[in-house]
Chains A and B, each alone.
Chain A
Amino acid sequence: MATFKDFRNAVKPNWCPGCGDFSVQAAIQRAAANVGYEPHELAVISGIGCSGRISGYINSYGFHGIHGRALPIAQGLKMANKDLKVIASGGDGDGFAIGMGHTIHAIRRNIDITYIVMDNQIYGLTKGQTSPRSAAGFVTKSTPGGAIEPSLKPLEVALTSGATFVAQGFSTDIKELTALIEAGLNHKGFSFINVFSPCVTYNKVNTYDWFKENLTKLSDVEGYDHTDRSLAMQTVMEKEGLVTGIIYHNQETTSYQEKVTGYSELPLTDIDISLSEEQFDQLVKEFM
């Protein structure tokens, strides 16, 4: 059995000291070990951004793709080899700006992968521009007069897009975050986990302290039931998205792959891909 140490590699992250992404990295490593994966059975697919570097910092198969496209790459990989455990990850710009279309459709499609967003409400890698997650009024290099657009609400978007698993964590609470990722990995369908992962260099508003002051743990909310979608929506709206825990979990869902007609029981990577002459003739006959 692999331990979280087996998911560590020799690469030293180039993140700033104190960056929230370190904890996300640690939580993924722990969760992967806790659910019983071996490193070679896991693939982490990431986008571009400070956060996107994460695929290179975990001892597993890793694919650092292009900005905003971690999800389609991850879904393609899972379709090819359904035995692999696949995590997609990236920043808030990656998933909610350039890649927003893929995020909504991946949620709807419900392929059995886990998507972890490192949400720092800013563009870190490009040195501090506004992100769709920045609050209105937020001052950045690209919004010197304060952001005009309201911030995007990823939890509400996920819930209305037919998500079957939605959770939110906070970098400081590695224990809760690890548990959320474990639950996501165990979910049979698409799991979406948004993580408040502070950027200590460019975001001086949404700091660790700010989150500590403003976040509510759903486990502390009396009567919260994460199988109740309307309650989830209502709570998320009331708390303006500043909650952590499992927000919604539909345990009865069937993943996309289980619904595809004719889709091989064996992973596609393992099937014999040559056509027999008989199969070929059968196909060709239709054109005569």
Chain B
Amino acid sequence: MLHQLSWKVGGQQGEGIESTGEIFATAMNRLGYHLYGYRHFSSRIKGGHTNNKITVRPTQVRSIADDLDILVAFDQETIDVNYKELTASSIILADARFEPASPEGCTAPLFAVPFTEIATELGTSLMKNMVAIGATAALLNLEETVFQSVVEEIFGRKGEEVVAKNIEAIQKGREAIAEQIGDRVGEWALAPADGQRRLFMIGNDAIALGAIAAGSRFMAAYPITPASEIMEYMIKKLPLVGGAVIQTEDEIAAATMAIGANYGGVRSFTASAGPGLSLMVEAIGLSGMTEQPLVIIDTQRGGPSTGLPTKQEQSDLMAMLYGTHGEIPKVVIAPSTMEEAFFDTIQAFNIAEQLQLPVILMTDLQLSLGKQTVAPFDYSKIEIKRGKIVEALEDEESKDYFKRYENTEDGISPRILPGTKGGIHHVTGVEHDETGKPSEATGNRRTQMDKRMRKLNYLQFDTPIYVNAPHEEADVLLVGFNSTRGAIEEVQETLNAEGIKTNHAHVRLLFPFPAEEMAKLADKAKKIIVVENNSTGQLANIMKMNIGVHAKTTNVLKYDGTPFLPRELTNLVKEKI
């Protein structure tokens, strides 16, 4: 019985690789297994190698595994590109149609199964995916009934016959491989799962769901990988709660439209990736200067310019922290799990309104698109906090402008929404006085600048750093942000088991940087290793800037477009110790 199964399906883009993975994973989820997925895809629609790697465990799974147990191949390229992840105890299931060959040095046995042929005999070659799932099922000793509910959901609309055919395809796939491997059927069976229901979603789903739960009812966005799913989800679901999405002409329009809607009093946001964020930079400054709430989701991908648009990277950090001219207060959040992505999105909307400033929630491609299981979110923990909104004024007839930028102790001024009687005031990106009237007076400038910046002192953020620091005196402190969390956790376990005292700090609030807390963690460690998917060590530089730990800080960097794998990262970290 296996305690972890690493499964991958690959082929040409556009031939249903995605849905094959999806069906397999959904069925495993329904049995109560924990899953963590990774999609490799190219920046083109049809053609080009794509694969979907899924790690399955009866217990929590935090990252993709280094190795593969089962590789399902729909073309030779899949074998050639991925065989290095296979071991002698792995197996390749390949479509007989392309006469698969085992590359030199590949120790895993290869079985050619007539996926396409069986599917064609059943009526359509499209069902080859089902045959492949059937073959997988045999290795795992799973009955085809396990797939019944998933197949019904996908094909139910097409009628009972189609459902039955697909189930039959799974069954035929099982039989076909069983004939070839005989008593090895069930060799890859997993230890039983707990049968608990979990959500199976990508980070973008968690964020979009979070936005709806947070009460966001307007979104403006421009499509881009890997952010589009957020907009697409909102387009599907916002109409159910009365809201709307506008697909704008560009990201400048998206960000400024969201500012306009927030000014109107509706929680609004936009989502994009590097190139779009670059276009939004002036609008971020406008939000900061005019104290209009704004939530921006940045799903980082490989930069610069168009860079590696479909690959993992964490290189927008400096741009998000500093990418606007002048000085504004802003908050930058980086969730690292599905649950954080959901609740942090809600926090982002709360903070944006409470402090009246731009909040950027950063993810990375692996967090945004990697599909994972997560325990259902606790509804009772959803809290909407709108800050100082003045609903109505006592003196509605007042002719004086409302002090929208009143110099209060916490720097947060009462906010009044357009349309409110007696609340007329001016909003401008030009330096202004308490009523919003342009003013260049030196004293006023200082007052208003200090007022805006002071708001950050009143930021309340749950858990700015996720900490797992069992050692008072550690050999190493591993630091990361966003999706590297799982891989780092696995490394930490391995190192601790080997006697290297390892602590872990995952930064969730990047700006304002939780310097005090990080300094304490840094003090406890002989060495700090910052793990990042970029080439210049941006987070390490932020650490140095804020807590000055130059001498003992070093980097592990990866910027080839792929996420860290646990064993790979363990080795890289060991090299630095």
Is this pair of chains taken from one and the same complex?
yes
Any chain B CB within 8 A of the CB of A69? Answer: yes
Residues 157 to 201 of chain A near chain B (Cβ within 8 Å): none
A72-B253, A287-B200 as given contacts; A77 in contact with B261, CB under 8 Å: yes
User: Closest CB of chain B to A84's CB: distance in Å?
Assistant: 5
Q: Among the listed A38, A72, A283, which residue makes an inter-chain contact with B257, where contact means beta carbons less than 8 Å apart?
A: A72
Any chain A CB within 8 A of the CB of B209? Answer: yes
Question: Is the CB–CB distance between B212 and A269 below 8 Å?
Answer: no
Specify which of A81, A260, A268 lies most central, judged by the most chain B CB atoms within 10 Å of its CB.
A268
Size of the chain A interface, CB-CB below 8 angstroms: 57
Give bound CA distance, A104 to B253, whole Å: 12
The digit string for B230-269, where 1 denotes a CB below 8 A from any CB of A, is 0000000111111110101110111011111111111110
Question: Is the CB–CB distance between A105 and B430 below 8 Å?
Answer: no
Q: Among the listed B199, B205, B249, B427, which residue makes an inter-chain contact with A62, where contact means beta carbons less than 8 Å apart?
A: B427
Question: Is the CB–CB distance between A273 and B384 below 8 Å?
Answer: yes
The digit string for A101-132, where 1 denotes a CB below 8 A from any CB of B, is 11011000100000000000000000000000
Question: Is the CB–CB distance between B418 and A72 below 8 Å?
Answer: no
At the interface with chain B, which of A24-32, A52-60, A147-155, A208-216? A52-60
Q: Among the listed B197, B213, B286, which residue makes an inter-chain contact with A66, where contact means beta carbons less than 8 Å apart?
A: B286
Chain A residues with CB under 8 A of B65: none
Question: Is the CB–CB distance between A77 and B260 below 8 Å?
Answer: yes
Any chain A CB within 8 A of the CB of B145? Answer: no
User: Closest CB of chain A to B229's CB: distance in Å?
Assistant: 13
Q: Among the listed B200, B253, B258, B418, which residue makes an inter-chain contact with A102, where contact means beta carbons less than 8 Å apart?
A: B253
User: Closest CB of chain A to B326's CB: distance in Å?
Assistant: 12
Question: Is the CB–CB distance between A268 and B286 below 8 Å?
Answer: no
Q: Among the listed B199, B215, B216, B258, which residue makes an inter-chain contact with A284, where contact means beta carbons less than 8 Å apart?
A: B199
At the interface with chain A, which of B178-186, B375-383, B514-522? B375-383
Question: Is the CB–CB distance between B209 and A284 below 8 Å?
Answer: yes
The digit string for A58-81, where 1 denotes a CB below 8 A from any CB of B, is 011111111001011111111111
Question: Is the CB–CB distance between B257 and A280 below 8 Å?
Answer: no
Question: Is the CB–CB distance between B242 and A271 below 8 Å?
Answer: yes
At the interface with chain B, which of A39-47, A133-141, A225-233? A39-47
Closest chain B residue, CB of each to CB of A73: B260
The digit string for B1-13, where 1 denotes a CB below 8 A from any CB of A, is 0000000000000
Q: Among the listed A60, A66, A262, which residue makes an inter-chain contact with B256, where contact means beta carbons less than 8 Å apart?
A: A66
Size of the chain B interface, CB-CB below 8 angstroms: 72
User: Closest CB of chain A to B42's CB: distance in Å?
Assistant: 27
Question: Is the CB–CB distance between B424 and A79 below 8 Å?
Answer: no
Any chain A CB within 8 A of the CB of B437? Answer: yes
Question: Is the CB–CB distance between A65 and B253 below 8 Å?
Answer: no
Closest chain B residue, CB of each to CB of A60: B424
Q: Among the listed A60, A63, A81, which residue makes an inter-chain contact with B265, where contact means beta carbons less than 8 Å apart?
A: A81
Question: Is the CB–CB distance between A275 and B213 below 8 Å?
Answer: yes
User: Closest CB of chain A to B143's CB: distance in Å?
Assistant: 20
A69-B283, A72-B252, A288-B197 as given contacts; A80 in contact with B241, CB under 8 Å: no
**Residues in chain B within 8 A of chain A (CB atoms):** 29-30, 197-201, 205, 209, 212-213, 215-218, 220, 237-244, 246, 248-250, 252-254, 256-268, 282-283, 285-286, 290, 376-377, 379, 382, 384, 401, 417-430, 436-438
**Residues in chain A within 8 A of chain B (CB atoms):** 9, 11, 38-41, 43, 45, 55-56, 59-66, 69, 71-81, 83-84, 101-102, 104-105, 109, 260-264, 266, 268-269, 271, 273-275, 277, 279-281, 283-284, 287-288
* A-B pairs, 10 with minimum CB distance: A262-B239, A76-B260, A80-B264, A273-B215, A264-B242, A76-B257, A73-B260, A64-B428, A76-B261, A61-B418
A-B contact sample (10 more), CB < 8 A, given A65-B290, A72-B252, A84-B264:
A64-B430, A69-B286, A72-B253, A77-B261, A105-B249, A269-B265, A275-B212, A275-B213, A283-B209, A284-B209
